[in-house]
């Protein structure tokens, strides 16, 4: 895990571009954030649990989630990716709770304690339906509007809500920027190095890959973690806490469908064709946004955020975390939490 010293280095050395002046940034802000974090308690990586999890019926799911902070605080929803789970935010959530935020960290469909309410429900993992899960969660928890933050699948989900339902999104923190999928564009090949990085996506298109994920889910996830975050020295206990989420009975079905759907090799639900058509058009995101890249993430595009900058039309800043890989909130929890606090300030200007 990143230490406070490493956090200050990452934050102070980060590149940032903002459409509004006056954002807290640079070495002085890093020192302030470090001092504030120190007053909040434990070193990042020492927390191992959220405590008792909650369940709520929301749409077609019974969603498992962690909650921290005051019930009447401004809501923040933190969304994990694959192959990860809510423990990506085990250090982020208490930092935000200490600032007065109500923090909700749900298991996405197919993960952890989240379950389908009916055996008859299509195990669908197209992008729009995962976003609708979070809208249903917000409705069930009576959250009208929230700051949304995520990485990987979580970034895509947060981006979609910000684009299609901006009235539900106060502000956005999105790792790797704009991840809304255009399946037609996905038919075009990438440079060989990037195609190689996506090996598991192509593996899952085969029956052998589906069986491999089902039988070797932990080994496969550990391999992906190591590749995605080459500087993150996670221990066995950290991995095993997350790997428990992969025992969900629908895990393999959801993961395989998601990647096959993205490549146009699996059908979604026709009821959401209209939403997918809107998403394929690349809708702009107008809510206040901070995008983050980890410079050791093999999926970070070149250009320090410039490749997706035009998708964001509102107040905006970009940050690059040096020495950080794909799982940004777990590798750099204090810097990630600070981005959420700062995007809330962007919103208030």
* Residue linked to tokens 């504030």: 36
Distances (CA, A) of 287 to 15, 118, 150: 21, 35, 15
DSSP string, 127-175: HHHHHHHHHHHHHHTT---EEEEESTHHHHHHHHHHHH-GGGEEEEEEE
What is the CATH architecture of 4-348?
3-Layer(aba) Sandwich (3.40)
Q: What are phi and psi of 317, to 5 degrees?
A: -145, 155
Per-residue pLDDT in tens (0 to 9) along the chain, 349 residues? 333 334 343 444 344 444 433 444 433 343 334 333 333 444 556 788 898 999 999 999 999 999 999 999 999 999 999 999 999 999 999 999 999 999 999 999 999 999 999 999 999 999 999 999 999 999 999 999 999 999 999 999 999 999 999 999 999 999 999 999 999 999 999 999 889 999 999 999 999 999 999 999 999 999 999 999 999 999 999 999 999 999 999 999 999 999 999 999 999 999 999 999 999 999 999 999 999 999 999 999 888 999 999 999 999 999 999 999 999 999 999 999 999 999 999 877 7
Beta strand 75-79 with 115-116: parallel, antiparallel or unpaired? unpaired
Segments making up each domain of the chain, as ranges? 4-348
> Across the chain, which distance is largest between two alpha carbons, in Å?
55
Q: Give the three-class secondary structure for 17.
A: strand
DSSP string, 271-289: GGHHHHHHHHT---B-S-E
For 164, residues 6+ apart whose C-beta sits below 8 A from its C-beta are 131, 275, 278, 279, 283
CB atoms within 10 A of CB 324: 30
Q: How far apart are CA 245 and CA 230, in angstroms?
A: 23
């Amino acid at each position: 895990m990143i230490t406070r010293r490493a956090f200050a280095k990452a934050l102070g050395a980060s590149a940032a571009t903002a459409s509004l002046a006056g954002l807290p940034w640079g070495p002085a802000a890093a020192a302030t954030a470090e001092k504030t974090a120190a007053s909040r308690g434990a070193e990042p990586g020492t927390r191992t649990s959220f405590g008792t999890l909650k369940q709520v019926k929301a749409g077609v799911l019974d969603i498992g989630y962690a909650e921290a902070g005051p019930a009447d605080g401004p809501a923040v929803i933190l969304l994990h990716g694959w192959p990860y789970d809510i423990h990506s935010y085990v250090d982020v959530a208490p930092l935000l709770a200490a600032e007065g935020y109500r923090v909700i960290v749900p298991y996405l469909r197919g993960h952890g304690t989240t379950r389908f309410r009916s055996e008859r429900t299509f195990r669908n993992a197209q992008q729009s339906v995962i976003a609708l899960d979070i809208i249903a969660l917000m409705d069930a928890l009576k959250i009208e509007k929230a700051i949304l933050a995520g990485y990987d699948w979580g970034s895509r989900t947060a981006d979609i809500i910000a684009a299609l339902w901006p009235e539900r999104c106060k502000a956005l923190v999105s790792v790797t920027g704009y991840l809304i999928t255009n399946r037609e564009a996905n038919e075009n090949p990438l440079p060989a190095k990037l195609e190689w990085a996506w090996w598991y996506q192509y593996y899952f298109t085969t029956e052998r890959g589906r069986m491999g994920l089902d039988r070797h889910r932990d080994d496969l996830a550990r391999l992906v973690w190591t590749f995605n975050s080459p500087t993150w020295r996670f221990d066995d206990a950290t991995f095993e806490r997350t790997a428990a989420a992969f025992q969900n009975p629908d895990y393999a079905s959801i993961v395989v469908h998601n990647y096959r759907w993205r490549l146009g090799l699996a059908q979604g639900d026709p009821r959401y064709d209209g939403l997918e058509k809107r998403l394929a058009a690349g809708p702009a995101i107008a809510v206040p946004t901070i995008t983050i890249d980890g410079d050791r993430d093999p999926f970070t595009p070149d250009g320090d955020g410039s490749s997706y900058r035009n998708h964001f039309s509102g107040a905006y800043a970009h940050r690059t975390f040096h020495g950080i890989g794909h799982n940004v909130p777990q590798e750099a929890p204090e810097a990630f939490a600070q981005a959420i606090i700062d995007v809330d300030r962007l919103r208030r200007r």
